[in-house]
């Protein structure tokens, strides 16, 4: 390691001043932005900030220091120039990753100002605002604030936005809101509109939007499935079950599962011939799709028609096969837990039909095997025991 040594000035030598581009640039407080102070060319000393060079990102507005950052940026959001607003929004998006800033945003009530921006004429501004809202929903206080503000109505209008990116972002925000029970309750009013969107989306090929839409619908339907049902939910979602993208299949199966908790839905599912599609999905590649399909079946076979249809479709062997598979990897087992659980419940319901019982009596060892201690998971054991009980029940 060297230590700096001051060299005596030789006669005739002058101190050379290092002039960089930094000399010509100002310090970055927005207040002084209008007046550029140029460093005099014969300065003998340099500031640290000038030595390190200035990294200006042209797509981001400069950020003030400390607690003034957020208010300053929000003040810039009302400027008439759209480019400036975009830059301010970009900086805001960066800042809100920090929970402290986010708290500041929410507690000082800046969220309502975003409402004006959502009506903005420029599509890029709207998209950025949606992104900001999405970042904001990762925290609980922000979610609560969002739910109680009029932003929700504005967001629902954005679902019809001409720009596809904006629509995607708005859907993302809705989705992250719907994961909260209070959010799902607030979004109940929007379910008819979402069903309409689902119908429309069949013409477009927006996969992410469809997946998000279905996910939101399933969250809302878990709370109360009636609105979705009354708007022909079963038919619309049933059509999505055979989509090419596995995300959409998974979400559609999940939505179907959430819907089929109501008895009316069960009968609708049986009538609409959705069960064969679900049975096909049981043989899908993706574990989640299989799990959701098994869940939907498990809900539907509670009624007698469902039972008979499933037995006709020969779903029993498939379910048993799913049950007998054991993956060596613990992680995989965890992921398959849902699948196993749902299959067991489906088998329990099927065992109530005499035909099912007869067939399952032959397969009893398999079920007993799942209910014994070699099985780690207590829930699976319990479910298996119930299944065994039902199968061996005699009047």
Partner 1 sequence: MSFVSRNQKGTNGTYTFSSRPRPVENRSKYREKQTEKAEKAHSTYGNIMYDRRVIRGNTYAQRFLSTMVQEDLAEMQRQQELRRRAIAQKNKTKEQLRSSTPEAVQGRKHNVVQTELYLEELSYNIELSHIECQTDPLLDRPATPLFIPAKSGKDVATQIEDGELFDFDREVQPLLEVLIGKTIEQSLLEVMEEEELACLRAQQRAFQELRNAELAEVQRLQEQERRHREEKERRIAQQREALRMEKETVEKIAARAYTQQYLADLVPTVFQSLRIHGFFYDPVEKDIETNFFPWLMAEVNSKLEKRNAARQLLDTLIHDVAQKKLPLYTNLETRPEK
Q: Contact positions toward partner 1, by CB under 8 A?
A: 1-6, 8, 11-12, 97, 99, 138, 179, 222, 257, 261, 291, 295, 298-299, 302-304, 337-338, 341-342, 344-346, 348-349, 352, 379, 383, 386
Q: How far is the CB of 18 from partner 1 (least distance, A)?
A: 21
Whichever of 82 and 179 has its CB closer to partner 1, that residue is 179
DSSP 3-state of 80: coil
Dihedral angle computed from the Cα positions of residues 381, 384, 390 and 394, in that order, rounded to the nearest 10 degrees:
-80
Q: How far is the CB of 157 from partner 1 (least distance, A)?
A: 29
Q: How far is the CB of 321 from partner 1 (least distance, A)?
A: 19
Whichever of 159 and 211 has its CB closer to partner 1, that residue is 211
Whichever of 3 and 285 has its CB closer to partner 1, that residue is 3
Whichever of 10 and 38 has its CB closer to partner 1, that residue is 10
Q: How far is the CB of 138 from partner 1 (least distance, A)?
A: 7
375 dihedral zone (left: phi>0; alpha: psi -120 to 50; beta)? beta
Cα–Cα–Cα angle for 316, 320, 326, rounded to 5 degrees: 160
Dihedral angle computed from the Cα positions of residues 70, 75, 79 and 83, in that order, rounded to the nearest 10 degrees:
-10
Whichever of 117 and 383 has its CB closer to partner 1, that residue is 383
Alpha helix segments (H runs only) across 272-392: 275-281, 287-300, 304-313, 315-324, 330-350, 354-362, 364-371, 378-391
Whichever of 39 and 303 has its CB closer to partner 1, that residue is 303
Q: How far is the CB of 345 from partner 1 (least distance, A)?
A: 4
Whichever of 53 and 99 has its CB closer to partner 1, that residue is 99
Whichever of 90 and 291 has its CB closer to partner 1, that residue is 291
Q: How far is the CB of 154 from partner 1 (least distance, A)?
A: 26
- For 356, other C-beta atoms within 10 Å of its C-beta total 23
- For 287, other C-beta atoms within 10 Å of its C-beta total 15
Whichever of 125 and 282 has its CB closer to partner 1, that residue is 282
d(CA 206, CA 89): 26
109 dihedral zone (left: phi>0; alpha: psi -120 to 50; beta)? left
Provide the angle, in degrees to the nearest 10, between the axes of the packed helices 315-324 and 364-371.
40
Q: How far is the CB of 6 from partner 1 (least distance, A)?
A: 6
Q: How far is the CB of 299 from partner 1 (least distance, A)?
A: 6
**Structure tokens of 159?**
């679902």
Q: How far is the CB of 140 from partner 1 (least distance, A)?
A: 10
Helices H / strands E in the chain, number of each: 24, 0
DSSP secondary structure letters along 319-350: HHHHHH---SSHHHHHHHHHHHHHHHHHHHHH
């Amino acid at each position: 390691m060297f230590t700096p040594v001051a060299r005596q000035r030789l006669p005739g030598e002058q101190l050379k001043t290092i002039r960089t581009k930094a000399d010509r640039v100002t310090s970055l407080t927005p207040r002084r932005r209008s007046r550029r102070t140029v460093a005099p060319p014969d300065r003998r000393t340099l500031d640290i900030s000038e030595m390190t060079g200035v990294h200006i990102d042209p797509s981001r507005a400069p950020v003030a220091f400390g607690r003034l950052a957020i208010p300053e940026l929000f003040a810039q959001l009302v400027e008439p120039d759209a480019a400036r607003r975009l830059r301010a929004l970009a900086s805001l998006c960066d800042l809100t990753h920090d929970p402290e800033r986010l708290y500041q945003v929410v507690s000082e009530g800046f969220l309502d100002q975003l409402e004006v921006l959502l009506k903005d004429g420029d599509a890029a501004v709207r998209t950025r605002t949606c992104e900001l809202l999405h970042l904001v929903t990762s925290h609980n206080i922000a979610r609560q604030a969002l739910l109680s503000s009029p932003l929700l109505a504005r967001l629902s209008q954005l679902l019809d936005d001409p720009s596809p990116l904006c629509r995607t972002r708005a859907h993302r925000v809705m989705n992250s809101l719907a994961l909260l029970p209070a959010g799902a309750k607030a979004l109940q009013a929007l379910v008819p509109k979402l069903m309409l969107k689902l119908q429309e989306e069949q013409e477009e090929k927006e996969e992410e939007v469809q997946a998000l839409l279905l996910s939101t619908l399933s969250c809302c339907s878990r709370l109360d499935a009636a609105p979705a049902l009354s708007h022909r939910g079963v038919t619309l979602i049933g059509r999505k079950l055979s989509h090419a993208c596995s995300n959409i299949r998974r979400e559609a199966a999940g939505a179907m599962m959430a819907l089929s908790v109501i008895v009316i839905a069960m009968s609708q599912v049986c009538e609409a011939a959705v069960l064969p599609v679900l049975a096909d999905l049981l043989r899908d590649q993706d574990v989640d799709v299989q799990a959701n399909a098994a869940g939907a079946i498990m809900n539907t076979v509670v009624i007698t028609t469902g039972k008979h249809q499933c037995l006709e479709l020969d779903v029993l062997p498939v379910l048993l096969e799913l049950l007998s598979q054991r993956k060596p990897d613990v992680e995989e087992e965890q992921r398959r837990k849902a699948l196993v659980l749902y299959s067991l419940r489906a088998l329990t319901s099927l065992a109530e039909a005499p035909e099912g019982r007869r067939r399952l009596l032959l397969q009893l060892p398999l079920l007993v095997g799942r209910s014994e201690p070699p099985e780690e998971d207590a829930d699976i054991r319990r479910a298996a025991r119930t299944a065994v009980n039902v199968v061996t029940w005699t009047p």
